[in-house]
Structure 1
């Protein structure tokens, strides 16, 4: 039986390897349009490759997926981060866990992962074709009414397969082929991005980071909230809290053309009343100290000074002189600061897409299409996306492993 895999990224390679290893009798062909496969693996994690996340509880793991978590819950009971760690370990690649749970190869080099996948594919007998840009993907039936797939390359070469795995990532061509084979495509919009914000309070603070902030978008039913580290940049805001918020708010922000109010609580352990009481205590304990120079809170000094200046407290004013009105304004600025998002930036080169092939049309036990027998999907072509931290790679490993296993048993 012939198996064709389109897409030489993480999901394509992992699916092809899983299939070929599980059934050596299969003829597995992997087609990659670029000259160098695994391009996204190469650049991920700043060139270190954030392989997965040290979250081995399936119920908790799915909470990191703005879209696709429900569908993945059963899938993760069969192949989850622990299995990923073991898969690589059995092939000579050890992973390490960092403080935030992200897992990287101990070499801190993505080439380690690329070499492992390339060698595993070669050893399993996968036929890899690079520079193999696909022109058309069609399904036909033979004289015995058995269906097969025909894949024509841009150079005219034609491949035929009994089974087809689409692992084309966010490439629009993959969505087009899926649609032509009967699938609904959920509209695609960017996920995981930074916020463009031009604000006097942030000016000159590029590089300043705060370990734990709370950021909010929208109101009522549309209210979105995340907590985590935040980084001030030349163009606005980045860091885990912002990236997570961008993922959960991908469609919300897209609909607003990336123009929305952002609320920041720089000190989420406080509410307005508790912070006010702490500052009143400071006023009594340190009456002669200048407000702008004495920050009694766990905030970067430069950020504190910027917020103090922004609400109009003069640089020479000491704590004993702060008025009730100024104190309330300072509390409000720290807890309920409003910032205007005017656009989106990019998260390095690691783009993630919200949207893709509708999950309702996929059997998540096998990753086979419910619309087109013999067609399978894996990775980012599906309407699945996770927050930053190795979760997107994990959904690729899981869905492609399931697809490979299912194909091998046919």
Structure 2
């Protein structure tokens, strides 16, 4: 038995639902269905942002927004001019969900619950008559005459147009390879660094605004760095992991980083400030008071690592010790040995090669009436609502195109 639809959407996640709703709002007569392999839809939306759903980011200028995408920066410029974060806010407001901006620019529903977003999508599909089929694991996809045929383990579906919004699903990528599409092999993005080092061993929970560089690469990143039980995390590290996803994968996650705990202060300026402190606080112990606004625990740890004991006074600081301290502060060397996945916000770099997609319509350049939305393509972003924004924008463009 074949089930016939005008448009079939594979993937019951953020991109799939957003695409379906926008298609039927524009063309109420269209028969649209969503196929989801799991028992429930919108699973990733539920857990995202710690269960609050980080819907988008308060960055309203397309040319600025693209800079948060290690893969897709060039390609998303056009799409973001069609549908950007401001449009996302407006869309959700129209659908009864108000968003708020937090200090770091991330945007959440005012309710602080991802359930609000899920309810909004599910209600809209019911109201618009979009069919949602769960437990439908796709076994094959092929084109027959002018129609796409999708076989699941217990049903056959036929549609004139097919939208794939399956995220990082290797099985679907494999089927697309059989249809001639090139797939950029997936590697992890957004992970934290495993570092065993006496300088940070006792400091989980301590954070600083730092600049981090990866040795022998051009990779560098600035932002809050958080010390954890297993090493280092926080935006500075996550950004580095996203931009360096391929390079660090090739290094098998064994590499050296340099940390400047003073953010943008260079060694020369740091040395000047330390020399002034040496004169002004001659009688005080070096380890007792942090000079650069670092937490006292981090300061003390770096002082000890510079071969300065806890009783040493500023006046007794030797030239060598001062130099050691400058080095620890502005160019600390740490060995990274492996990675840990960052919470449940797991993102992969990889997917359909961007050269094979028309970004005006999100249609495949190889097959007519085959469209892509969301993370199935080789686009990914750093954490902060940007991966969702890509889902909304690509879904909106597909809806316009079909």
Per the normalisation by structure 2, the TM-score is: 0.97
C-alpha separation in 1, matches of 2:123 and 2:206: 42
Please say if residues 290 and 315 of structure 1, whose CA atoms lie closer than 8 Å, have aligned partners that are also in contact.
yes
- Tell me the residue number matched to 1:250: 245
Equivalent residue runs for 1:228-307 within 5 Å: 228-307=223-302
Please say if residues 182 and 372 of structure 1, whose CA atoms lie closer than 8 Å, have aligned partners that are also in contact.
no
Q: Summarize deviations over 1:193-248 as a string: whole Å, max 9, x none.
A: 111111111101111111x21011143xx311111111100000110111011000
Moved more, 172-181 or 344-353: 172-181
TM-superposed deviation, 1:118: 1.0
C-alpha separation in 1, matches of 2:295 and 2:346: 30
C-alpha separation in 2, matches of 1:218 and 1:359: 29
Please say if residues 305 and 328 of structure 2, whose CA atoms lie closer than 8 Å, have aligned partners that are also in contact.
no
Candidates 46, 49, 63, aligned match of 1:45: 49
C-alpha separation in 2, matches of 1:139 and 1:160: 9
Instruction: Confirm whether residue 332 of structure 1 aligns to residue 327 of structure 2.
Output: yes
Please say if residues 215 and 258 of structure 2, whose CA atoms lie closer than 8 Å, have aligned partners that are also in contact.
no
Stretches of 4+ aligned residues off by more than 2 angstroms = none
- Tell me the residue number matched to 2:124: 120
Q: Summarize deviations over 1:283-307 as a string: whole Å, max 9, x none.
A: 1111111111121211011111111
C-alpha separation in 2, matches of 1:61 and 1:294: 40
TM-superposed deviation, 1:251: 0.3
C-alpha separation in 2, matches of 1:76 and 1:124: 26
TM-superposed deviation, 1:134: 1.3
> Secondary structure, in 3 states, of the residue corresponding to 1:228?
strand
Q: Summarize deviations over 1:21-58 as a string: whole Å, max 9, x none.
A: 11112110100011111111111111111000000000
C-alpha separation in 2, matches of 1:372 and 1:139: 9
C-alpha separation in 2, matches of 1:164 and 1:180: 16
TM-superposed deviation, 1:8: 0.5
> Secondary structure, in 3 states, of the residue corresponding to 1:373?
coil
C-alpha separation in 2, matches of 1:400 and 1:262: 38
Candidates 59, 63, 67, aligned match of 2:63: 59
Q: Summarize deviations over 1:143-195 as a string: whole Å, max 9, x none.
A: xxxx21111111x2111111100000001112112212221001110001111
- Tell me the residue number matched to 1:194: 192
Q: Unpaired segments of 5 or more residues in structure 1?
A: 142-146
For these two proteins, the number of residue pairs brought into alignment is 398
TM-superposed deviation, 1:269: 3.2
Instruction: Confirm whether residue 217 of structure 1 aligns to residue 211 of structure 2.
Output: no
Q: Summarize deviations over 1:103-131 as a string: whole Å, max 9, x none.
A: 00011110011111111122122100111
User: RMSD of the alignment, in Å?
Assistant: 0.9
> Secondary structure, in 3 states, of the residue corresponding to 2:49?
helix
Moved more, 228-237 or 15-24: 15-24
TM-superposed deviation, 1:85: 0.3
TM-superposed deviation, 1:139: 1.2
- Tell me the residue number matched to 2:144: 140
Candidates 83, 98, 103, aligned match of 1:94: 98
Equivalent residue runs for 1:370-381 within 5 Å: 370-381=365-376
- Tell me the residue number matched to 1:175: 173
C-alpha separation in 2, matches of 1:107 and 1:49: 10
C-alpha separation in 1, matches of 2:360 and 2:54: 26
Candidates 137, 159, 162, aligned match of 1:164: 162
Per the normalisation by structure 1, the TM-score is: 0.96
Please say if residues 197 and 236 of structure 1, whose CA atoms lie closer than 8 Å, have aligned partners that are also in contact.
yes
> Secondary structure, in 3 states, of the residue corresponding to 1:198?
coil
